Structure 1
Amino acid sequence: MDLFAGQGRLEWWANQLICLEAYDIDITVAVDAVGQWRATGRHANVLDASQREGWDFLMEMDPHFSIAFPGEDRGGIMVRVVETGDGNLTLTEAPDWDGSVNVTFDLT
């Protein structure tokens, strides 16, 4: 089993040109013999109130992020992120995610 422990960056892309936000995370990735990987992590820095509001908004809209590892300018692996109440993140690869999101805003 291969293992990576270090830092990464979660990027939330609105489209191919616009990254709305990026979050540094401490991450541990384990890859098994057949290439399946699983990852856990935490935000590298405590999010301030504004960052937390943005994070929660993006997670509610669509919890899919691109992940970039050290030395990468832009993330290439799509992951679905789940955050537990204690701030732990679980990332699962989402290779079949097509980038489409259907969002409805209530403006009343």
Structure 2
Amino acid sequence: MDRFVGQARLEWWANHATCLEEYGIDISVTVDAVGTWRATGRHADALDTTQREGWDFLMETDPHFSVMFPGEHNDGILVRVFEAEDGTLTLVEAPSRDGSVNITFDLP
């Protein structure tokens, strides 16, 4: 995959059995010639007040989410999410649950 532009889902897991929240995102992922991943996105739909409070709480608690792509049936890719003031989301690699790294998100 050199580029993926579409929708994905961010899931926030309290533990291996409990997903507390899911957020649809529009995402753009690119891979350069040396295999470095870059990913940015935005919430697919504007968050209402309750959703925004939940999002802010989860981001303050632990900004690590699993990103799930359409058609994938696995645990997703563990990423750390950063949100800019304009609402842009930046996804950065995070160690997987077993301590290894799945892929690299290296964003400017």
Q: Distance between the aligned counterparts of 2:9 and 2:73, measured in 1?
A: 10
Distance in 1 of aligned mates of 2:31 and 2:51: 31
> How many Å separate the matches in 1 of 2:74 and 2:58?
18
- Contact 2:77–2:96 (Cα < 8 Å) also in 1: no
The question of 1:92 aligning with 2:92 is answered: yes
Could you tell which deviates more after superposition, 68-77 or 53-62? 68-77
Q: Give the structure-2-normalised TM-score.
A: 0.84
1:66 aligns with 2:63: no
Residue 105 of structure 1 is matched in structure 2 by none
Q: Could you say which residue in structure 2 is the equivalent of 1:103?
A: none
Aligned residues: 99
State the 1:42 CA deviation. Answer: 0.2
Residues 23-32 or 72-81, more deviating = 72-81
Counterpart of 1:52 in structure 2 is: 52
After superposition, the C-alpha distances for 1:33-80 in whole angstroms (9 at most, x for unaligned) are 222201000000000000000000000001100000001245421001
User: Over aligned residues, Cα RMSD in angstroms?
Assistant: 1.9
2:39 alignment partner in structure 1: 39
Write the distance in 2 (CA, Å) between the matches of 1:42 and 1:55: 13
Cα pair 2:69 2:76 within 8 Å, conserved? no
2:30 is paired with a residue whose SS is: strand
Query: Unaligned 5+ residue runs, structure 2?
Result: 100-108
Superposed structure 1 runs of 4+ greater than 4 Å apart: 96-99
- Aligned CA distance change for structure 1 residues 76 and 96 (closer, same or farther; 3 Å): closer
Deviations 1:4-26 (A, max 9, x none): 10000000000000000000000
* Unaligned 5+ runs, structure 1: 100-108
Residue identity matched to 2:49: A
